[in-house]
Structure 1
Amino acid sequence: MQFRNFKMVSYVVYGRGSFNQLDEILAPQRKVDAPMIFFVDHFFEGKALPNRIPLRGKDKIIFVDVTYEPKTTQVDALAQQLKAEFGMVSGIIGIGGGSTMDLAKAVSLMMTNPGSSADYQGWDLVKFPGVYKAGIPTLSGTGAEVSRTTVLTGPTRKLGMNSDFTPFDQIVLDPELTKDAPANQRFYTGMDCYIHCIESLEGNFINEFSKSYGEKALQLCQDIFLGKKPWTDEHDDKLMMASYAGGMSIAYSQVGVAHAVSYGLSYLLGTKHGIGNCIVMNHIEEYYPKGVAEFKQMVANNDIFIPEGICKSLSDEQFEAMINVSLGMKPLWENALGKNWEQIMTREKLRALYEKL
Structure 2
Amino acid sequence: MFKNFQSVSKCAYGRGSFDKLGEIIAPKRSENQGYFIFLIDHYFEDKPDFHKRIPAESNDVVEFIYTSGEEPKTSQIDELRDRFLQSKGLPAGVIGIGGGSIMDIAKALALMFTNEGSSVQYQGLNLIKKPGVYHVGVPTISGTGAEVSMTAVLTGPTKKLGLKCDWTVFDQIILDPDLIATVPKNQWFYTGMDTYIHCVESMTGQYKNTFSEAYGYKAIDLCKEVFLYEGSGQNPLNDEKLMVASYFGGLSLTYSEVGVCHALSYGLSYVFGTRHCFANCIIFPHLEEFYPEGVKEFKQMVEKNDIFIPKNLSQTWQEQEVEKMIDVCWALTHMWKHALGDDWEKKLTREKLKELYYRM
Alignment of 1:15-94 (within 5 A): 15-31=14-30, 33-47=33-47, 48-67=49-68, 68-94=70-96
After TM superposition, give the deviation of residue 4 of structure 1 in Å: 1.1
Q: Give secondary structure in 1 for the equivalent of 2:135.
A: strand
Scaled by the length of structure 2, the TM-score of the pair is 0.97
Residues 291-348 of structure 1 show CA distances to partners (whole Å, capped at 9, x for unaligned) of 0000000000000000112222222221111001001111111111111111222100
Partner of 1:354: 357
Contact 1:14/1:173 (8 A) holds in 2 = yes
| CA distance in 1 between partners of 2:9 and 2:331 (Å) | 31
Aligned equivalents of 1:309, 1:128: Cα separation in 2: 45
CA distance in 1, matches of 2:27, 2:348: 51
* Preserved CA contact (<8 Å) 1:228 1:301: no
- Provide structure 2 residue ranges, at least 5 long, that are not aligned to the other structure: none
Between the two proteins, the alignment pairs up a number of residues equal to 356
Equivalent residue letter for 1:115: G
| Alpha-carbon offset, residue 231 of structure 1 | 2.2
| CA–CA distance in structure 2, aligned partners of residues 119 and 108 of structure 1 | 16
Aligned residue in 1 for 2:155: 153
Equivalent residues in 2 for 1:3-18, closer than 5 Å: 3-18=2-17
Match of 2:195 in 1: 193
Match of 1:232 in 2: 235
> Which residue is 2:164 aligned to?
162
More deviation, 338-347/119-128: 338-347
TM-score (norm 1): 0.98
Structure 1, unaligned stretches of length 5 or more?
A: none
Counterpart amino acid of residue 343 in structure 1: K
Report the Cα distance in structure 2 between the residues aligned to 1:60 and 1:195, rounded to whole angstroms.
36
Q: Which moved more, 1:40-49 or 1:154-163?
A: 40-49
Q: Pick which of 27-36 and 184-193 moved more.
A: 27-36
Contact preservation (8 Å) 1:112, 1:131: yes
Instruction: For residue 56 of structure 1, report the CA deviation from its aligned partner.
Output: 1.6
1:150 alignment partner, SS class: strand
Shift of 1:228: 5.6
Q: CA deviation at 1:154?
A: 0.3
Residue pair 1:40, 1:63 contacting (<8 A) in 2 also: yes
Residue 208 of structure 2 aligns to a residue in which SS? coil
User: Any residues of structure 2 matched to 1:194-233 within 5 Å, and which?
Assistant: 194-227=196-229, 229=231, 230-233=233-236
Code of the aligned partner of 2:30: K
What is the CA–CA distance in structure 1 between the aligned matches of 2:354 and 2:170, rounded to whole Å?
Answer: 37
Q: Which residue of 2 aligns with 1:288?
A: 291
The match for 1:255 among 242, 253, 258 is 258
1:74-94 CA distance string (max 9 Å, x none) = 111111111111111110000
Structure 1 Cα separation of the partners of residues 347 and 271 of structure 2: 24
Q: Percent identity?
A: 53
CA contact (8 A) 1:228 1:302 kept: no
Letter in 2 for 1:303: D
Distance 1:49 1:250 in 2: 32
- The amino acid of 1:9's aligned partner reads V
- How far residue 236 of structure 1 moved from its aligned partner, in angstroms, is 0.2
SS of the residue corresponding to residue 27 of structure 1 reads helix
C-alpha separation in 2, matches of 1:55 and 1:40: 12
Say if 1:84 and 1:222 are closer, same or farther in 2 by CA, change over 3 A.
same
Give RMSD over aligned pairs: 1.0
Give the SS at the match of 2:11: strand
